[in-house]
């Protein structure tokens, strides 16, 4: 008999119909009630076993973690926990699970423990809910851009350009690491390497996406990016997925509006489609917050935060205004910031971003017009000569979720900036070509997908919103 997903059974609710379900045992209570989960929904299906009908030694093999195919009749439930249940007629034991060794027991496990069991943690309610939300978000991302007429571009993962400038890179090489060929001056002879030059894993698809926007108009990439940054934070991964739209004929305001519209739209979609998972995560979030000291607790619940973002405009504030606010803020005056804000031009630290979002404005904030000294070479210079048309979107609990800008489309200005930043213009010949042949004003941004999943699920560590996190000293699985 073909298996029906538990989610479908829930939706159709055909009482008295016979179904086959296939899944994993979450619990088996009193040799009578199997809670079966198949991943299609948060809910377990309660399968009621008539003990007289099955051999005792057979039933003993049904333990937490075992996999089963069950045939039975759907009936209204007598119990209080669920509206319906299955009266079991057949059980096929697909795979046993040693109850002494199976690590995912029906009790609360710490996130740290589950990270070590990342191959099995998807069988918990929390991780399955997070990963279903992640999948729904991913779909909503494509849907948003496709409906707007953007084209999806697959930018390269191995890159030969080292001017992306977004962070430390991972080298890609097939040279023998213990005996690499050398140049006369003793440096490694990358011309003998696989690609005949030094290559790395990409830190961003932006520059290549820009070339496509200059022919297709509006494009986006959604691919893996790699940063060898040794930052052990709850917001950084060495391998993460990034969404990077790039649009011809957009100025910075158009760019900010698109980013805002994009975030609200995908969140709205997920609110509709993942109601049950989000309700569960909302509850989980509330419990986690309760366990924190009062001062550190979030003022809003998870669903409240998501709804707040979809229903309110983001506050747009220039870097210069933000610095004034921070300079005069209580924590700055009382020397509570680790990095005091004393002068215009400093880079904002996460503590400053969080102050602005969580304490001062109490809503998502778009900061724009940053000092050129702290931003990348490709951002468009403003008339004041000091600032560039950059924008960062800051979210409560997350800090930076989007980084973007209007790109410098003027060849002479861009060349000057590349020189100032000591970047070899030869590395960027193709990028500069865009400014030689039919240059146009254009803009784009990058949104770290895991930061979006982090926000939407209310999880507290980015390692828990990607199946197999890659972080310093950790690439298990
Ligand atoms: P941060 O200051 O948080 O390190 P960034 O300035 O390095 O961010 P960008 O280079 O602008 O970030 O990258 C665009 C987006 O990618 C960021 O807004 C963020 O959402 C995400 N991002 C950046 N680095 C990481 C990382 N190591 N892990 C996960 N997401 C990241
Ligand atoms: Mn960074």
Which contiguous run of DSSP H or E holds residue 129?
Answer: helix 125-147
pLDDT on residue 262: 98
Name, in order, each residue with C-beta under 8 angstroms of 52's C-beta and a sequence gap of 6 or more: none
Rounded to the nearest angstrom, the distance between the alpha carbon of 300 and the centre of ligand 2 is 27
pLDDT on residue 181: 96
What is the full DSSP assignment across 359-406? III-S-EEEEEEEGGGS-TTBPBPTTSSEEEEEEEEETTTEEEEEEEE
Name, in order, each residue with C-beta under 8 angstroms of 120's C-beta and a sequence gap of 6 or more: 102, 103, 104
Distance CA 222, CA 202 (A): 13
- The answer to whether 396 and 369 are in contact (CB under 8 A) is no
Distance CA 95, CA 81 (A): 27
Three-state secondary structure call for residue 215: helix
- The answer to whether 103 and 65 are in contact (CB under 8 A) is no
Ligand 1, atom nearest to 392 Cα = 18
Encoding tokens for residue 78? 């007598």
Rounded to the nearest angstrom, the distance between the alpha carbon of 161 and the centre of ligand 1 is 19
Give the relative orientation of helices 411-420 and 429-436 as an angle to the nearest 10 degrees: 150
The region, left, alpha or beta by phi > 0 then psi within -120 to 50, assigned to residue 145 is alpha
Ligand 1, pocket-test mutation among 201, 231, 242, most atoms within 8 A of CB: 242
Rounded to the nearest angstrom, the distance between the alpha carbon of 330 and the centre of ligand 2 is 27
Three-state secondary structure call for residue 253: helix
Q: What angle do CA 413, 419, 421 make, to 5 degrees?
A: 105
Which single residue is written with the structure tokens 């998972």? 277
Ligand 1, pocket-test mutation among 209, 234, 236, most atoms within 8 A of CB: 236
Nearest CA to ligand 1 atom 19: 448
Q: In what order do the strands lie in the sheet with 387-395?
A: 151-152, 218-226, 239-248, 442-448, 399-407, 387-395, 365-371, 315-318
This prediction has a pTM of 0.96
For each of the domains in the chain, give its residue range(s) and CATH number, in order of start. Answer: 6-102 (2.40.50.140), 125-168+203-464 (3.30.930.10)
Ligand 1, atom nearest to 462 Cα = 29
- The answer to whether 265 and 136 are in contact (CB under 8 A) is no
Ligand 1, CB cutoff 6 Å, lining residues: 166-167, 227, 229, 235-237, 240, 242, 400-403, 446-448, 450-451
Nearest ligand to the C-alpha of residue 165?
1
Ligand 1, atom nearest to 229 Cα = 27
Nearest ligand to the C-alpha of residue 352?
1
Name, in order, each residue with C-beta under 8 angstroms of 327's C-beta and a sequence gap of 6 or more: 341, 342
Ligand 1, atom nearest to 451 Cα = 20
Encoding tokens for residue 224? 């893996």
Encoding tokens for residue 130? 């997070």
Rounded to the nearest angstrom, the distance between the alpha carbon of 446 and the centre of ligand 1 is 8
- The answer to whether 351 and 399 are in contact (CB under 8 A) is no
Rounded to the nearest angstrom, the distance between the alpha carbon of 458 and the centre of ligand 2 is 21
Write out the chain's pLDDT in tens, 477 residues: 899 999 999 999 999 999 999 999 999 999 999 999 999 999 999 999 999 999 999 999 999 999 999 999 999 998 788 899 999 999 999 999 999 999 999 899 999 999 999 999 999 999 999 999 999 999 999 999 999 999 999 999 999 886 666 678 999 999 999 999 999 999 999 999 999 999 999 999 999 999 999 999 999 999 999 999 888 899 999 999 999 999 999 999 999 999 999 999 999 999 999 999 999 999 999 999 999 998 888 889 999 999 999 999 999 999 999 999 999 999 999 999 999 999 999 999 989 999 999 899 999 999 999 999 999 999 999 999 999 999 999 998 888 999 999 999 999 999 999 999 999 999 899 999 999 999 999 999 999 999 999 999 999 999 999 999 999 999 999
């Amino acid at each position: 008999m073909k298996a029906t997903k538990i989610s479908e059974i829930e939706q159709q609710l055909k009482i008295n119909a016979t179904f086959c379900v296939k899944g994993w045992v979450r619990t088996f209570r009193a040799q009578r009630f199997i809670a079966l989960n198949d991943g299609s929904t948060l809910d377990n299906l309660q399968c009621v076993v008539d003990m007289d009908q099955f051999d005792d030694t057979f039933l003993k093999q049904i333990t937490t973690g075992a996999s089963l195919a069950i045939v039975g009749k759907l009936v209204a439930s007598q119990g209080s926990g669920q509206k319906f249940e299955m009266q079991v007629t057949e059980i096929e034991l697909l795979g046993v699970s040693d109850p002494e060794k199976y690590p995912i027991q029906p009790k609360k496990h710490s996130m740290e423990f589950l990270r070590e069991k990342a191959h099995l943690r998807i069988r918990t309610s929390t991780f399955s809910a997070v990963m279903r939300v992640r999948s729904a978000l991913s779909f909503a991302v494509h849907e948003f851009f496709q409906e707007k007429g953007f084209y999806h571009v697959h930018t390269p993962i191995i890159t030969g350009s080292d001017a992306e400038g977004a962070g430390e890179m991972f080298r890609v090489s097939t040279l023998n690491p213990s005996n690499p060929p050398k140049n006369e001056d003793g440096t490694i002879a990358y011309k003998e390497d696989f690609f005949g030059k030094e290559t790395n894993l990409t830190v961003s698809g932006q520059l290549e996406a820009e070339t496509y926007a200059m022919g297709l108009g509006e494009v986006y990439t959604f691919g893996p990016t790699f940063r060898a940054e040794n930052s052990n934070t709850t917001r950084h991964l060495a391998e993460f997925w990034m969404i990077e739209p790039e649009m011809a004929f957009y100025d910075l305001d158009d760019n900010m509006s698109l980013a805002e519209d994009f975030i609200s739209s995908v969140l709205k979609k997920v609110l509709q489609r993942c109601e049950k998972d989000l309700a569960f995560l909302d509850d989980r979030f509330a419990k986690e917050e309760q366990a924190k000291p009062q001062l550190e607790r979030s003022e809003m619940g998870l669903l409240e935060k998501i709804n707040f973002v979809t229903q309110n405009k983001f506050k747009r504030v220039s870097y210069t205004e933000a610095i004034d606010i921070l300079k005069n803020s209580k924590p700055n005056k009382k020397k509570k910031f680790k990095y005091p804000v004393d002068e215009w031009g400093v880079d904002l630290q996460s503590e400053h971003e969080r102050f602005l979002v969580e304490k001062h404005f109490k809503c998502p904030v778009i900061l724009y017009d940053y000092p050129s000294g702290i931003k990348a070479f490709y951002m468009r210079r403003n008339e004041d000569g000091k600032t560039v048309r950059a924008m960062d979107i800051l979210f409560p609990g997350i800090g930076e979720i989007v980084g973007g800008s209007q790109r410098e489309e003027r060849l002479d200005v861009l060349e000057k900036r590349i020189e100032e930043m000591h970047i070899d213009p030869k590395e960027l010949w193709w990028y500069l070509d865009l400014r030689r042949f039919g240059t146009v004003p254009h803009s784009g941004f990058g949104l770290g997908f895991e930061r979006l999943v982090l926000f939407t699920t209310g999880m507290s560590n980015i390692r828990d919103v990607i199946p197999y996190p890659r972080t310093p000293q950790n690439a298990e699985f």
